[in-house]
Structure 1
Amino acid sequence: MTVLAISGWGVLSAAGPGTDPLAALLAGPEPTPPTSSVEAPPKGTPAGLGTEGDQPPGLESIPVTGLDVRQRLGRKGTGFLDRATALALVACDQALEHGGVVVDDSCRDRVGVVLGTTQGSLRSTMDYSRETLVQDRPYLVNPALFPNTVMNCAAGQTAIRYGLKGINTTLAGGRLAFLQALRYAQNALRRGYADTLLVGATEELTDQTAWSMRLSHPDADTLAVGEGAALFVVSNAAVGTDPLPHAEVLSVVHGYAPDGAVETGLGGCVRRGLAAAQVDASEVDLLVTGEVGNERRETAAATTALGDEPARVLRVKDVLGELQAATGALQLAAVLGLQGGSEGDGRCAVITGCDADGGVAAAVVRRWRRDGATGG
């Protein structure tokens, strides 16, 4: 199985930019969300949350705050960005900078992007559909709003802005989207379709996505809804190269757990992942799950597969809320945030995920100590 070497990343979450704030937020004995009551961004920001009172009852919002897209990217081309795309673009900008990647004519055909999503920008799709019904005939809808309605908008805009002419793929996989993107990247690099890939996921928090979660999630009454984006610079550089990568994704395994048999299905993914990575369970000291609310299925499945609960178990949604497609990307960000010092010297982490339809997945990640270079 192709090993993905991670040489840089860009991370945006409610904890703050980069991996260090997220790791710090999770480091306490009882991790808590960064704020207990979050005000909506002011109107006029790209795909903001709207006015107070628009959010569905019973849901706490945990948005990315302090994001100034125009300050980071400039005014050109940012006027009609939806929030999911804006998050992805800023994360990509950070990842290229952090990884020291210079995209020019000598390499742009071999640099691509693989991005996970749930369904693109739900707000853009619904707003555009509404416009076609309420505007004067012959339906005078602003055509500049249409590109935001397609699911691959964020990946397309990323490639356009940064001149990436290689693979451009969007995977609409919900909670498992990022782990699907990692597996896709493994296959693409193994087959020689690209030299470098920006692999990640993005999810926006808007009134529409909050209402969608309110109406569909079984724990909606106690659910906090978040957002975020993370992109990672990956390649299939040979193991042991100098300098060491920040981390290596050794294996990614997907499966299906019918009739709610998550423990069996996900446990099988963890075991197959360890076997493919040639890693013994004793080397795993960190488990990062995609659980939310009262869920404990992933922890139980991984613990059974490993033979014992790892020294540390993290649940990023306890502090960031339900992240949908961005879940796996921020799980990996949490792993990278903990790689400094003694926690990163060749030890392994397992990332797990499952969705409501029975999909399950697990990834095995080896962290390397890169003191002073983990912030992203």
Structure 2
Amino acid sequence: MKRVVITGMGVITPIGNDVETFWNQLSQGQSGISKIDTMDVSAYKSDIAGLVRNFDAEAAVGRREVRRMDRYTQFAVAAAKQALEDAKFSIDEHNAERVGVYIGSGIGGIHTMLENYRTLLERGPSRVSPTVVPMMIANMAAAQVSIMYGAKGPVLAPVTACATGNNAIGEAMKLIQRGGADVVIAGGAEATITDLALAGFGNATALSTRDGAPDEASRPFDAQRDGFVPAEGAGVLVLESLEHAERRGAHIHAELIGYGVSSDAYHIVATDPEGAGAYRAMREALADAGLAADEIGTINAHATSTVAGDLSETLAVKRLLGKRAYEVPISANKSMIGHMLGAAGGVEAVALIKTLQDGLIPPTINLQNPDPQCDLDYVPLQARRADVQIGLSNSFGFGGHNAVLIFKKFES
């Protein structure tokens, strides 16, 4: 079986639009949650989000191309550009057919859809953009990365809600392992901070309403958590077969060694209260990696700051690790960046890889009053030094989708 390694990383997030800035802010426990100032949200049940700030779309994508891309696609292309530059990898006529793109989105181009629907109602059908469909569909981030950089291998756009990023990366690993590509650009992108999404999530009572203190609103595992905080951005990795990476002398960030998936088969939005599906996905990832549970050194939790979700994940971890569950440090990145939906897995994969590289586990901020039922080691409030060799990253999505990745510090 081919070994798969990570040679490039790129992010667009509420706490930084490059890996270095993102990691510095995450390590320091800086929140990217703020009041929404991009539209009038005075009538909504929640008015806070993790917004991407200071994003220069024209610089990242190009003045000509940017007008034909929804915001989520712009994020994906920008993150992919960073990842390719980090990997020092160029796609050309000699390797293009062996390079794939697996980038998904939970929702896709909702900005484009809403803008054009308003145009339809206000100005009539003749004024709707002829590019509305290719701009709004959820495969277009993957397609545009393929087009812009000339990747002619397999292109796939998973749509598994909040598990999308992990599914994209995991399926990319499997593609490389079975010899379908040498390199895959993989991850997730999302840009859903719109009136429709905010109203829908709010009316579903899924969002935090701690509007008076935005930076304290996302509080995974805390007894006073009251819902998730929506966020936007992208996280993209460059995956390669080890032999391909070594042949070109690439710098290797980490090795991807396990991938597990499952379905709760329980409810369209609620998680299995016992965490059974999450447990199965973690168990499958361990089996795929050929590991015992006691070899996991840290967990990057899905941990959205919902009452039911955080508890079910805690129960799943306890079932997986047994008594050792209390000894394994767990970090909840969403306490700082909010819930980036389909982009979450890609961004959190970068965070876990940086943990392996730097020996630093980011904190779970706002964990001031721990839920007695969530009684594991969530690295509260401050980052922690730890020499971690292997880490597991969870992503669970609406519909019961569960996807888990396991990364290992690289050893030649």
Q: TM-score, normalised by structure 2?
A: 0.78
Farther-moved stretch of structure 1 (68-77 vs 166-175): 68-77
Residue 296 of structure 1: aligned partner:
311
Check if 1:227 corresponds to 2:232: yes
Residue 46 of structure 1: aligned partner:
none
Cα distance in 1, alignment partners of residues 336 and 295 from structure 2: 27
Deviations 1:23-76 (A, max 9, x none): 444435xx45235x3453xxxxxxxx4x34478332312111111111233312
Is the Cα contact below 8 Å between 1:63 and 1:205 reproduced in 2?
A: no
Describe the shift of the 1:329–1:262 C-alpha distance in structure 2 as closer, same or farther (beyond 3 A): farther
Residue 200 of structure 1: aligned partner:
187
1:1-376 alignment, distance < 5 Å? 3-27=3-27, 31=29, 33-35=31-33, 37-38=34-35, 40=37, 49=38, 51-53=39-41, 56-136=44-124, 139-207=126-194, 208-216=196-204, 218-221=206-209, 222=226, 223-238=228-243, 245-259=252-266, 260-293=272-305, 294=307, 295-307=310-322, 308-309=324-325, 310-342=327-359, 347-368=389-410
Is the Cα contact below 8 Å between 1:345 and 1:369 reproduced in 2?
A: no
Deviations 1:226-274 (A, max 9, x none): 1110111002225995766211111111112244254232223222322
Q: In structure 2, what residue type is equivalent to 1:16?
A: G
- Secondary structure, counterpart of 1:249 in structure 2: strand
Is the Cα contact below 8 Å between 1:32 and 1:318 reproduced in 2?
A: no
Is the Cα contact below 8 Å between 2:261 and 2:285 reproduced in 1?
A: no
- Secondary structure, counterpart of 1:224 in structure 2: coil
Q: In structure 2, what residue type is equivalent to 1:77?
A: E
Gaps in structure 2 of 5+ consecutive residues: 210-225, 267-271, 361-385
- Secondary structure, counterpart of 1:63 in structure 2: coil
Shift of 1:320: 1.1
Shift of 1:345: 6.7
Is the Cα contact below 8 Å between 2:107 and 2:190 reproduced in 1?
A: no
Cα distance in 1, alignment partners of residues 390 and 286 from structure 2: 10
Cα distance in 2, alignment partners of residues 152 and 132 from structure 1: 24
Residue 43 of structure 1: aligned partner:
none
- Cα root mean square deviation, aligned: 2.7
Q: Where has structure 1 moved over 6 Å in runs of 4 or more?
A: none
Shift of 1:162: 1.2
Cα distance in 2, alignment partners of residues 220 and 17 from structure 1: 25
Cα distance in 2, alignment partners of residues 287 and 21 from structure 1: 22
Cα distance in 2, alignment partners of residues 148 and 55 from structure 1: 29
Cα distance in 2, alignment partners of residues 355 and 297 from structure 1: 13
Shift of 1:96: 0.7
Shift of 1:185: 1.3
- Secondary structure, counterpart of 2:180 in structure 1: coil
Describe the shift of the 1:132–1:299 C-alpha distance in structure 2 as closer, same or farther (beyond 3 A): same
Farther-moved stretch of structure 1 (13-22 vs 283-292): 13-22
Describe the shift of the 1:205–1:150 C-alpha distance in structure 2 as closer, same or farther (beyond 3 A): closer
Gaps in structure 1 of 5+ consecutive residues: 41-48, 371-376
Cα distance in 1, alignment partners of residues 86 and 274 from structure 2: 37
Q: TM-score, normalised by structure 1?
A: 0.85
Shift of 1:77: 1.4
- Secondary structure, counterpart of 2:339 in structure 1: coil
Cα distance in 1, alignment partners of residues 299 and 283 from structure 2: 14
- Secondary structure, counterpart of 1:139 in structure 2: helix
Deviations 1:88-129 (A, max 9, x none): 111011011000111111111221210121121112123323
Cα distance in 2, alignment partners of residues 55 and 149 from structure 1: 26
Is the Cα contact below 8 Å between 1:316 and 1:330 reproduced in 2?
A: no
Give the total of aligned pairs: 357
Is the Cα contact below 8 Å between 1:55 and 1:210 reproduced in 2?
A: no
Describe the shift of the 1:194–1:132 C-alpha distance in structure 2 as closer, same or farther (beyond 3 A): same
Cα distance in 2, alignment partners of residues 116 and 256 from structure 1: 18
Cα distance in 2, alignment partners of residues 140 and 23 from structure 1: 43
- Secondary structure, counterpart of 1:351 in structure 2: strand
Is the Cα contact below 8 Å between 2:166 and 2:187 reproduced in 1?
A: no
Cα distance in 1, alignment partners of residues 259 and 134 from structure 2: 32
- Secondary structure, counterpart of 2:230 in structure 1: strand
- Secondary structure, counterpart of 1:172 in structure 2: coil
Identical residues among aligned pairs (%): 22
Shift of 1:154: 1.4
Shift of 1:17: 2.5
Shift of 1:291: 1.6
Cα distance in 2, alignment partners of residues 55 and 195 from structure 1: 50
